Amino acid sequence: MQDEQQYNQLMLLYQQLKNGAEDIAGMIDSDDYDSAISMLKNREQLYISCKCIRNYLELTPVQTQEVDKIVDEIRELELKNIKKLEKGMEEVQMELAKMQRTQKLQQAYESDIDSAGSIVNVQE
């Protein structure tokens, strides 16, 4: 009886992790990275709880199959989130490099104009 309750608790925790991964995906899509990061930090304790319960719980083959299925779903969602973040990082790095080139170009021309004056000298 107690094993059944612990199994139900484990499945509930895994479901919370799955829902959290889906929520994080939505936050990433809406560029709400601060909320996604804080949610990721809070999920660490859930992972630890799941690992502890799973280590000490003797699961039936059917229960093991159900647990493995939800763990695979969570893993899949987490990998999608990681890929989204990596893609976003690449885009930010490309934009940053573009802005740095533009800024470097502007600074080069601004310093030449300020120190050398205009191209046409009207007084001569």
Cβ–Cβ under 8 Å, residues 86 and 53? no
Distance between CA atoms of residues 101 and 11, nearest Å: 52
pLDDT tens for 91-116 read: 889 999 999 988 888 887 775 555 55
At residue 78 the predicted structure's pLDDT band, cuts being 50, 70 and 90, is very high
Q: What is the pTM of this model?
A: 0.73
What is the overall mean pLDDT for the chain?
86
- pLDDT > 70: what percent of the chain? 87
* pLDDT, average across residues 61-67: 93
Q: How far is CA 23 from CA 13, 31, 50, 79, 113, in A?
A: 15, 12, 19, 14, 52
